[in-house]
């Protein structure tokens, strides 16, 4: 714990963590808010899953593009432009009745314009702390972001079920705009400039650790998205149980992050953490009661934040600083495609087989998330005693002849 307190004493770290968490808080609200709103409008979880899938696909396409644009136009310009477009599209979904195809189109636009807060802050972190503190900082960030998933689902469920689904969406827009403005106004964005990458778009995926992080992130977040849809389907719109179960899921992640997130990262680190996620999600399919889901999903959550910390660290240690934003954009794209497919698959299985089908989807994805890093452990950097900072960008230096 002392390593975390030392990090928070570093000037600006606490502020930038708080600002980016506020800006990203809608990420813990919009999936559930859209699910509840679209299902209420259409009467189908499958339709809601399609809208979520369209939104996530838009985010997936935008991820590496907007991240790379930050190296060309600057972080502030890109974030402000996307913030305005995204807020407008999300508001439209909440207040304008539409057909399912129209909801999908607007959801796609909302995803395509989602501000690239996460790649920006992951790029800033290595410039704020020393190399010894970077891995614990990634762990602290991954743990802190679980507050999004603890508070977000509870707030969204309460507002959407007790006041109205439109207000659940509009509250998410308020956080998006308010948090985005705070983040853009943070002085750290003006102090860090992302160099223009010299590689072609997508070349960073040739780095095995980046590809490994992208694939495992896809499987991990896909499993989480399926769990979220399954929990909502179990408890429906009648009360706040779904929000509380999802909060317990995230509390497990916070506990895991604080307990294990600072441990040295060896080649088996990612596989071990994903095994915990698989065991919990597989057990969750055994019963659809509040207490059983709370216990099993708490166990599953223990592996999530530590696994995310590993993903961030192995990417950081494997690419040049000029490529970090794009690399994190691709990792985010993998996660968002996972969310899209996880939500869609879970939605259709819920319609056809009941809520338990969503947990089977989650279990299959989590098991694959364990197998991939176990087989790909040779691609996994051994960061035990090693600096996780990005590789410095170097250029030839002109030397005058003597």
Tell me if 295 is assigned to some domain.
yes
| DSSP designation for 56 | H
CA distances 296 to 261, 274, 288, Å, are 20, 15, 11
CB within 8 Å of 107: residues ≥ 6 apart: 34, 51, 52, 54, 55, 58, 89, 93
Nearest to 26, CA basis, from 152, 157, 161, 165: 152
Assess contact for 355 and 228: CB atoms under 8 A: no
Q: Which two tokens stand for residue 131?
A: 């190399």
The arithmetic mean of pLDDT across residues 134-147, rounded, is 75
Tell me if 4 is assigned to some domain.
no
Share of the chain above pLDDT 90, in %: 25
Give residue for tokens 């999004």: 148
Query: In this predicted structure, which of 60-69, 283-292, 371-380 has the lowest mean pLDDT?
Result: 60-69
Tell me if 320 is assigned to some domain.
yes
The arithmetic mean of pLDDT across residues 255-272, rounded, is 82
- The CATH code of the domain that includes 270 is 1.20.1250.20
pTM: 0.76
Tell me if 352 is assigned to some domain.
yes
Tell me if 387 is assigned to some domain.
no
Angle between helices 208-235 and 27-42 (to 10 degrees): 50
Give the domain range for residue 372: 13-193+200-379
CA distance 379 to 211: 9
How much is the pLDDT for 387? Answer: 60
How much is the pLDDT for 283? Answer: 94
Q: Which two tokens stand for residue 200?
A: 């072609």
How much is the pLDDT for 309? Answer: 83
**DSSP string computed for 214-270:** HHHHHHHHHHHHHHHHHHHHHHTTSSSHHHHHHHHHHHHHHHHHHHHTTS---TTHH
Confidence of residue 35 (pLDDT cuts 50, 70, 90): confident
Confidence of residue 374 (pLDDT cuts 50, 70, 90): very high
Q: Per mean pLDDT, which of 107-116, 152-161, 197-206 is the most reliable?
A: 107-116
Task: Domain count for the chain, please give it.
Answer: 1
For 187: left if phi > 0, alpha if psi spans -120 to 50, otherwise beta; the answer is alpha
Tell me if 6 is assigned to some domain.
no
Tell me if 125 is assigned to some domain.
yes
**Does residue 396 register a pLDDT over 50?**
no
**Does residue 108 register a pLDDT over 90?**
yes
| DSSP designation for 116 | -
Query: In this predicted structure, which of 136-150, 176-190, 275-289, 301-315 has the lowest mean pLDDT?
Result: 136-150
Tell me if 375 is assigned to some domain.
yes
**Does residue 160 register a pLDDT over 80?**
yes
Mean pLDDT, the chain, rounded, equals: 83
**Does residue 394 register a pLDDT over 60?**
no
CA distance 140 to 4: 7
* CA 47 from centre of chain: 23
The arithmetic mean of pLDDT across residues 374-379, rounded, is 88
């Amino acid at each position: 714990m002392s390593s975390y307190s030392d990090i928070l004493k570093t000037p600006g770290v606490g502020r930038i963590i708080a600002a980016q968490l506020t800006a990203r808080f809608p990420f813990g609200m919009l999936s559930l808010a859209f699910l509840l709103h679209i299902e209420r409008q259409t009467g189908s979880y499958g339709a809601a899953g399609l809208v979520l899938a369209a939104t996530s696909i838009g985010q997936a396409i935008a991820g590496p593009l907007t991240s790379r644009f930050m190296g060309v136009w600057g972080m502030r310009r890109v974030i402000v432009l996307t913030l305005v477009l995204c807020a407008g599209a999300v508001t439209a979904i909440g207040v304008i009745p539409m057909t399912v195809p129209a909801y999908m189109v607007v959801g796609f636009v909302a995803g395509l314009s989602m501000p690239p807060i996460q790649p920006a802050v992951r790029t800033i972190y290595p410039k704020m702390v020393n190399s010894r503190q970077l891995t614990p900082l990634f762990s602290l960030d991954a743990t802190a972001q679980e507050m999004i998933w603890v508070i977000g689902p509870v707030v969204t469920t309460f507002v959407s079920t007790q006041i109205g689904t439109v207000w659940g969406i509009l509250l998410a827009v308020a956080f998006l705009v308010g948090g985005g403005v705070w983040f853009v106004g943070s002085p750290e964005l003006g102090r860090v400039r992302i160099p223009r990458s010299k590689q072609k778009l997508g070349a960073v995926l040739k780095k095995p650790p980046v590809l490994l992080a992208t694939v495992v992130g896809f499987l991990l977040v896909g499993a989480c998205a399926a769990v979220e849809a399954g929990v909502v389907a179990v408890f429906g719109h009648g009360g706040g149980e779904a929000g509380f179960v999802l909060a317990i899921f995230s509390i497990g992640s916070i506990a895991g992050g604080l307990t294990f997130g600072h441990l040295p990262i060896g080649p088996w680190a990612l596989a071990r953490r994903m095994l915990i996620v698989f065991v919990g999600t597989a057990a969750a399919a055994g019963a659809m009661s509040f207490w059983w889901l709370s216990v099993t999903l708490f166990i599953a959550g223990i592996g999530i934040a530590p696994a995310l910390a590993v993903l961030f660290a192995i990417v950081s240690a494997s690419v040049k600083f000029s490529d970090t934003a794009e690399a994190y954009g691709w990792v985010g794209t993998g996660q968002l495609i996972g969310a899209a497919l996880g939500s869609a698959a879970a939605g259709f299985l819920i319609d056809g087989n009941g809520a338990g089908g969503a947990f089977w989807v989650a279990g299959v994805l989590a098991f694959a998330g364990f197998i991939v890093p176990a087989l790909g452990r040779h691609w996994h950097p051994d960061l035990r005693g090693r600096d996780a900072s990005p590789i410095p960008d170097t250029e030839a230096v002109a030397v005058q002849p003597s």
